[in-house]
Chain A
Amino acid sequence: MIQTRPLTAEAARADFPIMGRRVNGKPLIYLDSAATSQKPAVVIDIMDDYYRRYNANPHRGVYAISEEATAAYESARQRVATFINAASPKEVIFTRNTTEAINLVRYSWGRANIQAGARILLTEMEHHSNLVPWQLLAQEVRATLSFLCIDDDGLLELEQLDRQLEGVKLLAITHQSNTLGTINPIKAVAEAAHRAGALVLVDGAQAVPHMPVDVQDLGVDFYAFSGHKMCGPTGIGVLWARRSLLESMPPFLGGGDMIKRVRLNEATWNDLPWKFEAGTPSVAEGIGLGAAVDYLTQFGMDRIRSHERTLVDYALEKLQEVPGITIYGPRDSELHGGAISFTLANIHPHDLATLVDREGIAVRAGHHCTQPLMDRLGVAATTRASFYIYNRVDEVDQLVTGIQKAQKVFA
């Protein structure tokens, strides 16, 4: 049983060694958690401990440390399953990251089920990781892509959803936009998609770290996310899918661990989840992800979400006062997760990011791997500030001060 802890940014900061870091002589203000989150000591330490005490290849070793490695790795899978309310840990496939999870679906389910002339429905706000794999599949099998548009507040236009779903085999949609912060109504959209006979894949890279996610309640078919955005290490991600669906799918990568019996000219596949996990897995990273899940669970995902809502409300209010600023995405924090994109009238986002870096503030500038969305917004790039459990309201003030200083340079 995980002991619960009240969430305050100050208490959380003490868990993150990097928060003691100074950058350009100033305390680090990290506002780029949508790109990757920082790591608490418990995650760093548990991975270190694996390498120091029981580093071994898991799953078939009959000696003690291999069994320990197997137990730790599979226990992490169990905890991830509980965290997203999967019906079984067999439904939790470890991948390298969200991108690999989506590509797994493209190669395995997609090639077997998307035929020439079939339609795949996406949205204008997809990250390239949930767009390019479907472009490649569509080119390969001669399927077509269509897109749900966004309105000027960065919300999906869903009035015509039922019509747009006609003939669609797959709806691939982000749970929360990494650029706009928009939280999409996944449950309602998934119901509509299923009525139309389409399956639903959700890119949850920006959602699982920041809000309660219950894959069964959402009623989706595939759900992908990354460990490194939720206090875990890089190199580990998750594809969740319903067991019956995974059972029906052909393997993705071939090799060791994913097989049951191999002869010279044929092989049979291992049981779930290992059928989709060829080769030696990222053992330390899996164990690290398990520790990250425990770390987040002690605060509670609803508490983390409300902490970020406070930051988003405050940041939207303060940023709006900056002259010459354009803020993208929903104005209502109910629909706006912890990432805010904006542009300034006379300062390019890269110049702004460089100038606030001198104040120790890390923000991201660029297209955020959403070039079609940049085209829709009519900009080449934006600056994005994104929040997590360790961010404080006064860091938003520091950002605003940093922006004002940059504006003086360019005045």
Chain B
Amino acid sequence: MSDDLYREQILEHYKNPHHFGELPDADITQEGDNPLCGDVITFYLKLDDGRLGDVRFRGRGCAISQASASMLTDLIVGKPLQELKAFPTKDLLEELGIQISPARMKCATLSVNTLRVALNGDVPEED
């Protein structure tokens, strides 16, 4: 794990987010937010025969929340929905590859929590 919270890859995702935008024919649209920070994110999910056919997101907030959403879209596109319903938070944190302080954890996990709400209708407690 790098201790550089704002390493190049994070900033690159923040400035040029992957899968940024909307899907007009999305099957699921899900908004999530951290009212305490003001981070907001909306996922647009297109389902395709039990898989996530396509994904887009829109959002605004801190670099950690937005880069994490961008990275998550890369990790989930094309994957079976069954798998994504239990997408482990730790996989996203590993992809971020940085030490997240407790105060910033909500920023880092907003995207994956919003994905879980989109696919399950709730957020199961993390271990």
Interface residues in chain A, defined as those with a beta carbon under 8 Å from any beta carbon in chain B = 348-351, 354-355, 366-367, 371, 374, 379-381, 409-410
- Cβ of B61 within 8 Å of any chain A Cβ, yes or no, is yes
**Contact present for A366 and B37 (CB under 8 Å):** yes
- Cβ of B119 within 8 Å of any chain A Cβ, yes or no, is no
**Contact present for B6 and A409 (CB under 8 Å):** yes
Task: Tell me which of A351, A371, A374 contacts B62 (CB under 8 A).
Answer: A351
**Contact present for A348 and B36 (CB under 8 Å):** no
A381-B38 contact in complex given A348-B62, A410-B11, C-beta closer than 8 Å = yes
Closest Cβ of chain A to B65, distance in Å, is 8
**Contact present for A351 and B36 (CB under 8 Å):** no
A380-B61 contact in complex given A351-B6, A367-B38, A409-B11, C-beta closer than 8 Å = yes
Looking at A350, A367, A374, the one whose CB has the most chain B CB atoms below 10 A away is A350
**Contact present for A367 and B6 (CB under 8 Å):** no
Docked complex Cα distance between A348 and B39 (Å): 9
**Contact present for A348 and B6 (CB under 8 Å):** no
Closest Cβ of chain A to B64, distance in Å, is 7
**Contact present for A351 and B37 (CB under 8 Å):** no
A-B contact pairs, 6 of them (CB 8 A): A348-B61, A350-B37, A367-B38, A380-B38, A380-B39, A380-B40
Closest Cβ of chain B to A26, distance in Å, is 15
**Contact present for A381 and B104 (CB under 8 Å):** no
The 6 A-B pairs of least Cβ separation, nearest first, read A380-B38, A348-B62, A350-B62, A381-B38, A351-B62, A351-B63
**Contact present for A381 and B11 (CB under 8 Å):** no
Docked complex Cα distance between A360 and B5 (Å): 16
- Cβ of B55 within 8 Å of any chain A Cβ, yes or no, is no
Task: Tell me which of B5, B11, B35, B63 contacts A348 (CB under 8 A).
Answer: B63
Q: List A contacts of B71 (CB < 8 A).
A: none
- Cβ of B107 within 8 Å of any chain A Cβ, yes or no, is yes
Closest Cβ of chain B to A333, distance in Å, is 28
Docked complex Cα distance between A91 and B26 (Å): 63
Docked complex Cα distance between A350 and B103 (Å): 10
Total A-B pairs, Cβ < 8 A: 39
A349-B62, A381-B37 known; 12 new pairs, CB 8 Å cut-off, are A350-B104, A350-B107, A351-B6, A351-B63, A351-B64, A354-B101, A366-B36, A371-B35, A379-B38, A380-B37, A380-B39, A380-B40
Q: List B contacts of A379 (CB < 8 A).
A: 38
Looking at B5, B11, B39, B63, the one whose CB has the most chain A CB atoms below 10 A away is B63
Closest Cβ of chain B to A98, distance in Å, is 20
Q: List A contacts of B11 (CB < 8 A).
A: 409-410
Q: List B contacts of A350 (CB < 8 A).
A: 37, 62, 64, 104, 107
Q: List B contacts of A371 (CB < 8 A).
A: 35
Docked complex Cα distance between A233 and B62 (Å): 33
Q: List B contacts of A366 (CB < 8 A).
A: 36-38
Task: Tell me which of A354, A374, A380, A410 contacts B5 (CB under 8 A).
Answer: A354
Closest Cβ of chain A to B80, distance in Å, is 34
Q: List A contacts of B38 (CB < 8 A).
A: 348, 366-367, 374, 379-381
Looking at B38, B60, B61, the one whose CB has the most chain A CB atoms below 10 A away is B38
Interface code B51-65, partner A: CB below 8 Å = 1, 0 otherwise?
Answer: 000000000111110
Q: Which B-chain residue is minimally distant from A347 (CB atoms)?
A: B63
**Contact present for B62 and A355 (CB under 8 Å):** no
Interface code B9-52, partner A: CB below 8 Å = 1, 0 otherwise?
Answer: 00100000000000000000000000111111000000000000
A354-B36 contact in complex given A409-B6, A410-B11, C-beta closer than 8 Å = no
Q: Which A-chain residue is minimally distant from B33 (CB atoms)?
A: A380
Closest Cβ of chain A to B90, distance in Å, is 22
Q: Which A-chain residue is minimally distant from B40 (CB atoms)?
A: A380
Looking at A354, A355, A374, A381, the one whose CB has the most chain B CB atoms below 10 A away is A354
Q: List A contacts of B64 (CB < 8 A).
A: 350-351
Closest Cβ of chain A to B6, distance in Å, is 5
Interface code B87-119, partner A: CB below 8 Å = 1, 0 otherwise?
Answer: 000000000000001001001000000000000
Docked complex Cα distance between A109 and B38 (Å): 36
Docked complex Cα distance between A97 and B61 (Å): 32
**Contact present for B104 and A354 (CB under 8 Å):** yes
Docked complex Cα distance between A351 and B101 (Å): 12
Docked complex Cα distance between A89 and B74 (Å): 65
Q: List A contacts of B62 (CB < 8 A).
A: 348-351
Closest Cβ of chain B to A123, distance in Å, is 22
Q: List A contacts of B107 (CB < 8 A).
A: 350
Looking at A349, A379, A380, A381, the one whose CB has the most chain B CB atoms below 10 A away is A380
Docked complex Cα distance between A366 and B62 (Å): 11
Docked complex Cα distance between A349 and B62 (Å): 7
